Every structure is written in structure tokens, then in C-alpha cells.
Structure 1
Amino acid sequence: MYNHILIGFDDSEDSMKALGRAAQFYMLNPNCKITVAHVIQQHIYDMAYNYDFSVAPNIAGGVYPTQIPVPDNELPLETQETIRDSQILDHAKSFLLSKGVPAKFESLGGKPVNDDLCDFASEQDVDLIIVGNSGKGALKKLLEGSVSEKVMKKAEMDVLIVK
């Protein structure tokens, strides 16, 4: 049985399924520790902000940096990212509380997602990492690989990929 479970959470449908699976493990062993980690990634927003640019929607989807200077009254990107991160973790908290599952919540950042999760898991004596399956399309998954596959390859402990 597992004593410490880490869930990689990004608020996607698949990471919600990972939370559900962790709750099932907890019901089988109420003595296990549950930790939910959200990895803050460097986004194009950060790059744009660092160079005094703004971001604009792209017709094809996503955003791109523009030559328009960032307004002075706009919140710093670090603040915006902290707010988004807090909202994501609040969603996970609400879900687990509704299931009666106590958990610890962590924000990680600075490295690629798979490195952050695996390094944190090793430091915290985690014996199971649960992640959702990637939502990437087949071609993108082939070219880039998915976070869940990278976690599975790098982790020194068991990894459960939930579909």
C-alpha cells in the first residue's frame, strides 16, 4: 500500500480524474498522505511582460507578443500567475474536501513540469505519482512527448497515468 501520493494537477479534465483516483486510494488507506502539486510554467505572458510588450489573441488560437507597451495599471505577471495558481489549487481543494480527503497543496516552478514533479516526489519520499493522461493530439504528442510519459520515464517511484 502507498504511504505518500503526489498528484500532478493542472485543472484539466484528466488531472481531475487523477484527483478522483487519489481519493479512491485514500479510502483504501486513510493513513496515506496526499499532496497535490501544480507546476507554474513560464508562459509567453512572462516573456512579453519582461520585455514591456503586451499579448494579443491570435486568430489561429493562443496569443502572441505585440509591440504595444504593457499598461502601467496592469498587474505584474508574477501576481497574475499567483492568482491563477491559487484558483487552480482551490479547485483541487474543493474537490478533495467534498470527498473527505485531507491533502497538502504545493506550487512548484522553475523547471519543466516532469522535472519539478519528479524532483519534488523524491525530496518528499513520495511512493506514487498520479497524473492525468495528456490531452495533446497524436502529432503533437509524437513530436513533443507528453508530460505524463516524461514523468513515467524520469520517476524513481511508481507512476499511475489516469485516462
Structure 2
Amino acid sequence: MLSIERILFPTDFSEGAARAFPQAAYLADWHDAELHILNVTGRYQHDYEEDRERFPVSQDTLTEWLRRSAESGPGPNEPDLSALPIAQEQVESAAPAEAILNYTEEEAIDLTVMGTHGRRGVDRMLFGSVTEEVVRKAPCPALTVRADADRAPSEAIRRVLVPVDFSEASDTAVRHAKEIAMTYGAEIDLLHVVHEPVYPAAYGFEPVSFPTGEVIDNVEAQLADLARETIGYEHVMIEARAGNPASEILDYTEENDVDLVVIATHGRTGLDRVLLGSVAERVLRRAPMPVFVVKPDRKSLVSSTPAETAATHE
């Protein structure tokens, strides 16, 4: 089971924040965790007074956010918000991301749940500013939800996708996905994308044909071993395919009705280079469902492996 004691939900009262709230509420309820609601405002904002007046967030507003993705009334497993331990705080700052990051440190937050659209001053901002900075720098995992996402389920997560590149980072993602899947009673899909090498004509030679079929067979055998050894239960699908990693991941989510993507921010790109700005960033920007981001060098919500424990103490 995931070890979650404190969940942070930053809100700017935007649609993106409202779409993310059900994820925060359900996870807090299922894990008996404290739910921290944080609003960062400032006198520079055109609606500064309005933000101050609607904080703390009322029970009626929280209930409206909770049921926003539901087609009808309350579901059978809907959290009782009146019984949920909720802490609310409003801070003034001209640097929202910095204020959110400071709060995660001060309150020992285990998981941040936030929308990928928000506000800065009068203008709306997209992922690439506040949310991106929090995902990059937070000392804990983050769950992001797009404001315009086609699918933002709360309790109805049935299929979890984990892109795997066989790095230590993706191993961490797989272990988190296992526990998340157990929480929701979901199935897991493991996907590896073989990126075929492309050589410029300026190299002056005909490239040798890449043995795509053979490589895919080998990779799927490795994925099967990973599923058996790390997840250890039968509800796992594996697939290897060739192409551009980000594009193939996104295509897979659409083709297979994926409800949640669990992805690591480090991979095989040089010396432990952060993937944000490449594969993970494209998935975060475009995935039509929530994305759970883990970082192997930061706080983990699952028990460490012996190798990770040793590495932490080196």
C-alpha cells in the first residue's frame, strides 16, 4: 500500500484546479491522509480581494469540485468531506511555485495533486510555468490533471500505464504503479518504445537495417520478467513497439482507454538527465488523463529496494 500521510492540493480557483480536486480527495480518504488545501495569492492579482473572500474554501464548493466529473449524484465510495482531516492555508506571494514548494517542505507533504492550468496575474498560464516548476523541484511525487483533459476519473481508474525504459527511474515508476493499481483495483500496462536509430545522409554510408522484430521480441521477454518479478500478479499487459517514445505513449493511452499514466522524470538520456522538456513533458502536456510523476532521487511512497537504500546512504 502507498504510504501517504499528507496530500497537498494547491488551488487558484481555476478549472484546472477544480478538475484535480477529486483525485486529491479520494486518495486522502482511501489512505487516511490529511488533505492540505493551499491558495497562493497576491496584491498584484486583479482578483486578489475575491480570492481572499472565498478562502477558506467552503464545504459546498469542495462538494461541487468533488462531483464535477460525476454524471449524477454522489457515488457509493464518495469521501465524506466533513470527516476528512482538511487543513487550509492562504499565503501571499509573487512567486506561486516557490510558495507551493516551501509548503511541501515545511509540512512534509507526501504527494502534490494539482491542475496543469492556473493563473499568473491577469493572464492564464499553461503547463510550463507554475506546475512545471513544482513537478521539477518538489521533494515528493506529483499527480497532475489537465483542465481540458478528456478523461479525469476520480474513483473509476481501471487501467494504469507505465512507460518503461529499463532504467532505475522506470523501476521506481513500476513499483509506484503497482501500489496505485492495488488502491484502485486497476490493471497495469507496461510499455516500452524502441527508438530506431536514424543516421543523417552526411555520414556518407548506408545504415544497417535495424532488427526491429527481434528487438521487440527481446524487449517483451524482459517486460514479462519485470511484470512477474516486480508486480507479481496476473492483471498486467505488456507491449513493445517501435517509434517516437512520446508519440507512441500518447497513442497507446488513446488506443487502450488508459485512465492514469505513471511516469518517471529520469531515463536513458545521458547522465541521469531530467526528462521534463522531452518525453515526460510531452506526456504531461498532452495526455488526456491524470499523470502521476515520480522521481527516484526524491521521496518515495513505497518501500525502498535494498539497492535504493544502499544508494541513498552512499
TM-score computed with the length of structure 2 as normaliser: 0.38
After TM superposition, give the deviation of residue 18 of structure 1 in Å: 0.8
1:106 maps onto 2:239 in alignment: yes
Match of 1:15 in 2: 170
RMSD: 3.1
Match of 1:160 in 2: 292
1:151 maps onto 2:274 in alignment: no
Match of 2:224 in 1: 90
What secondary structure is seen at the aligned counterpart in 2 of 1:104?
Answer: strand
Match of 2:192 in 1: 38
Q: Do the aligned residues in 2 keep the contact of 1:114 with 1:154 (CA within 8 Å)?
A: no
The whole-number CA distance in structure 2 between the counterparts of 1:7 and 1:162 is 11
Provide structure 1 residue ranges, at least 5 long, that are not aligned to the other structure: 54-69, 71-75
What amino acid sits opposite 2:188 in the alignment? Answer: I
Provide structure 2 residue ranges, at least 5 long, that are not aligned to the other structure: 1-154, 296-314
Q: Do the aligned residues in 1 keep the contact of 2:162 with 2:177 (CA within 8 Å)?
A: yes
The whole-number CA distance in structure 2 between the counterparts of 1:108 and 1:77 is 13
What does 1:60-139 correspond to in 2, within 5 Å? 77-98=211-232, 100=233, 102-110=235-243, 112-135=244-267, 136=269
After TM superposition, give the deviation of residue 145 of structure 1 in Å: 2.3
Match of 1:63 in 2: none
After TM superposition, give the deviation of residue 3 of structure 1 in Å: 1.4
The whole-number CA distance in structure 1 between the counterparts of 2:176 and 2:188 is 11
The whole-number CA distance in structure 2 between the counterparts of 1:44 and 1:80 is 18
1:25 maps onto 2:157 in alignment: no
Q: Do the aligned residues in 1 keep the contact of 2:216 with 2:241 (CA within 8 Å)?
A: no
The whole-number CA distance in structure 2 between the counterparts of 1:141 and 1:133 is 6
More helix by share: 1
The whole-number CA distance in structure 1 between the counterparts of 2:188 and 2:194 is 20
What secondary structure is seen at the aligned counterpart in 2 of 1:157?
Answer: coil
Query: How many matched pairs?
Result: 135
Q: Do the aligned residues in 2 keep the contact of 1:18 with 1:132 (CA within 8 Å)?
A: yes
Shift >3 Å, 4+ stretches: 135-138
After TM superposition, give the deviation of residue 97 of structure 1 in Å: 4.2
After TM superposition, give the deviation of residue 80 of structure 1 in Å: 4.3
Q: Report which of the two structures shows the higher radius of gyration computed on alpha carbons.
A: 2
Change (3 A) 1:52 1:4: closer
- Identity fraction in percent: 25
Q: Do the aligned residues in 2 keep the contact of 1:118 with 1:151 (CA within 8 Å)?
A: yes
Q: Do the aligned residues in 2 keep the contact of 1:133 with 1:148 (CA within 8 Å)?
A: yes
